[in-house]
Amino acid sequence: MSQTDDRGIAARAKARLGRAVLLAAAGWAAARGAGAEELRLFDDAPSPRYVTPASTGEDSDLRLLDLEHSYPWGGGDPGFRLEGGGADEDPQEPPPPTEVKPPPKKFWNTTTTIWTGLALLGGVGQGIGAPIKYGTNSWHFTNEGWFGYTTYAGGADKVSHFIVSSGVSRLLYDVYTQNGQPENQSFAVALAVSLTAGIFVETGDAITVYGWSWQDLTADFLGASSGLVIQRFGLQDLIGLRLGPAGGDVPPSAVGSSEESLGSSYNDEIYAGDLKLGGLITRLHGNPGVARFFLVSVAYYTRGFGYAPPLPSRYQTMGFELGINFPAILDELKVPKDKWWGQGLYAFFNFFRIPYTQVGTYYNFKTKKWYGPSAPYHYNP
């Protein structure tokens, strides 16, 4: 090979070396500006990254990131991932925390036990009271009837059982649910306790002249069930069940030689089933306005029953009333329902009919006449 050829080869080598140096310098400058070089193996892959450390100051190991996303066959995880710690690594979201449900609350806590005990003691006390007052007798059943004119109290005793049992069951249900107990369980326990109290009463009556009355226990069941339905389905603003005192003392001229028999004659009570206007109008998508402070009621009472021999002038009465809705007034006054005294006020006005806070008209089934607003407080044979 001649000297000339040697010089040509050297010149070409120098030129190639110069181009390589220029390309390396350009690549180094680009890496300096971008911080790292990103090589894409597949154009349609979602941002595959194979990052070199360049000038980031990291260690010199090559790191493969997001390899599972760049896998070209279906985008699945190829089964491995190479990575090193670094700022370019995509953080992995932690799995969502597993919700841990709190353990169910014990049903029989101090509050529920006390109120349940009081309800049962009330039934026991009334059951014991009958033999103490009237003496004992052999155990027997009695057929008292329902609302017949010849029955012991003209049906007032059955309505009283109904209303009282509804009040007991409503009170127990509220106690249970406000102590965090499930609604269905509260319904069942309140019904069972109310009926048990009624059984205690009838057991005491069974060993007296009264006798065990299936009609009374049926009225207890229907009343307790009705009260619980009202509470369970949130109908307190629509429907009410109340009893209250009324006058109606029987004058001596009507009593004659007869005497009161078999305990209470129910002559001084009146019973009301209420339809509350505020709840009704609201459910009809109207604005009740001032009407929310009123209710309409169907009332029932008897006079002159419970005597032996029976008074010929005794009578039964049904009436229709417009009265004041006291719980709605408590709502307007922002009386708290979560305070014991507030709960007591609501319970009182939802159970007791306050005398002279209503006007109405009343039909006497004996005389077949209508009487005015003061009829419950007078004897009108």
Residue 70 pLDDT grade (very low, low, confident, very high; cuts 50, 70, 90): very low
- pLDDT classification of 152: cutoffs 50, 70, 90: confident
Instruction: Determine the residue type at 183.
Output: E
pLDDT for 381 equals 85
β strands within 267-341, DSSP E: 269-276, 294-303, 307-308, 315-324
pLDDT at position 16, please?
A: 54
Q: Is 326 helix (H, G, I), strand (E, B) or coil?
A: helix
Q: How confident is the model at residue 354 (pLDDT cuts 50, 70, 90)?
A: very high
Return the SS3 of 279. helix
Are 355 and 244 a contacting pair, CB within 8 Å?
Answer: yes
| Residue 55 scores a pLDDT above 70 | no
Q: How confident is the model at residue 65 (pLDDT cuts 50, 70, 90)?
A: very low
User: At 161, which amino acid appears?
Assistant: H
Report whether 76 contacts 60 (CB < 8 A).
no
Q: Is a pLDDT exceeding 80 seen at residue 197?
A: yes
In which order are the strands placed within the sheet that holds 239-245? 239-245, 269-276, 294-303, 315-324, 358-364, 369-371
The secondary structure of 198-267 as a DSSP string is HHHHHHHHHTSSS-EEHHHHHHHHHHHHHHHHHHHTT-TTTEEEEEEE---PPPHHHHTT-EE-SS---T
Mean pLDDT is lowest, of 92-101, 102-111, 222-231, 338-347, for: 92-101
Mean pLDDT on 145-160: 93
* Res 250 pLDDT > 60: yes
Q: What is the model's pTM?
A: 0.72
Partner residues linked to 308 by β-bridges: 259
Q: Looking at the chain, how many residues does it have?
A: 381
- Structure confidence at residue 19 as a pLDDT band (50, 70, 90): low
User: What distances in angstroms separate CA 192 from CA 164, 168, 172, 250, one per listed residue?
Assistant: 15, 11, 11, 38
Residue 38's pLDDT is what? 47
State the amino acid at position 196 in one-letter form.
T
The pLDDT value recorded for residue 33 is 47
Yes or no: say if 261 and 203 are a contact pair by the CB < 8 Å rule: no
- pLDDT number for residue 259: 86
Residue 260's pLDDT band (boundaries 50, 70, 90)?
A: confident
Q: Where are the alpha helices (DSSP H) in the chain?
A: 3-34, 67-70, 110-134, 156-178, 183-206, 214-232, 252-255, 277-283, 326-332, 340-351
Q: What is the mean pLDDT of residues 12-24?
A: 51
Average pLDDT over residues 32-53: 48
Model pLDDT, residue 168? 96
pLDDT reported for residue 281:
97
Backbone torsions φ then ψ of 241, nearest 5 degrees: -135, 120
Q: CA 192, CA 169: separation in Å to the nearest integer?
A: 9
Please give the pLDDT value at position 340: 84
**Span 254-273, average pLDDT:** 87
Q: Tell me the pLDDT tens digit for each residue of 71-96.
A: 454 444 544 444 444 445 555 677 77
Q: What is the pLDDT of residues 312-345, one digit of tens each?
A: 999 999 999 999 999 999 999 999 988 889 988 9
> Which of the residue ranges 49-58, 170-179, 285-294, 355-364 would you say has the lowest mean pLDDT?
49-58
Domain ranges of the chain: 3-70, 112-234, 239-381
Instruction: Supply the pLDDT for residue 101.
Output: 64
Please identify which residue in the block is written with the tokens 């997001």: 66
- The whole-number average pLDDT for the span 203-223 is 94
**Is residue 265's pLDDT more than 90?**
no
Q: What is the mean pLDDT of the chain?
A: 82
pLDDT value of residue 68: 47
Least confident of 94-108, 168-182, 208-222, 248-262: 94-108
**Crossing angle between the packed helical segments 156-178 and 110-134, to the nearest 10 degrees:** 160
**How crowded is residue 165: how many other Cβ atoms within 10 Å of its Cβ?**
28
Instruction: With cut-offs at 50, 70 and 90, classify the pLDDT of residue 34.
Output: very low
- What own/partner pairs with CB < 8 Å and gap ≥ 24 does 212-219 have? 212/139, 212/140, 212/141, 212/142, 213/141, 213/142, 213/143, 213/144, 214/141, 214/143, 215/143, 215/144, 215/145, 215/146, 215/158, 216/144, 216/157, 216/158, 216/161, 219/158, 219/159, 219/161, 219/162, 219/165
How would you classify the pairing of strands 63-65 and 49-51? antiparallel
What is the reported pLDDT for 183? 94
